[in-house]
Amino acid sequence: MTKPTPLRLHDYLPYRLALASHRVSRMVGRAYRARFGLSIPEWRVIAILGEEGEATAQGLGDAAGLDKVSVSRAVRALVERGLVEKRPHGRDRRSSLLRLTPDGEAVYADVAPAALAAEAALVSELTGEEERVLAALLERVRNRAQALLDDPSAPVD
């Protein structure tokens, strides 16, 4: 009987991805907090609404990779700060459409360049080709993970 291959956490791809994501989020989140008083979920909500125009809370969660509680807290805080407004959703009375207020748009206009600068600092040691390969590989891993999530017969438990 062969001995199973031991799990080496630092070699385990899901762990390495989670660790990288956490460190990158902390790095950029520090700038959002210090300069704009925004948490990472709040920044993600502002970024998505700045890009999309409006969305439901569920749509924000799906786009931002956030759970319902995180989205709810972020939206509530942004509404209280006057950066996001809610209006009734014409087709679904159970949800609201969310969009940036003029103050929210101003924050987005200020924070977006900071986000791009943080991204540039993060990838500054990569070549253009390495950036493209990294983006393509991350997209493939994300798509494969979604396919496995969507397939109830996938051999993952």
Domain total in the chain: 1
Query: Across-strand partners of 56?
Result: none
Tell me whether residue 146 is in a domain: no
Q: Tell me, yes or no, whether 140 lies in a domain.
A: no
pLDDT in tens, 14-45: 999 999 999 998 888 887 888 889 999 999 99
In a 3-state reduction of DSSP, which class is residue 96? strand
Residue 72 included in any domain:
yes
Contact 41, 30 (CB under 8 A): no
Domain interval for residue 66: 25-124
Collect the ranges in the chain with pLDDT lower than 50: none
- Predicted local confidence at residue 152, as pLDDT: 82
37: left (phi over 0), alpha (psi -120 to 50) or beta: left
Confidence at residue 32, expressed as pLDDT on a 0 to 100 scale: 84
pTM greater than 0.85:
no
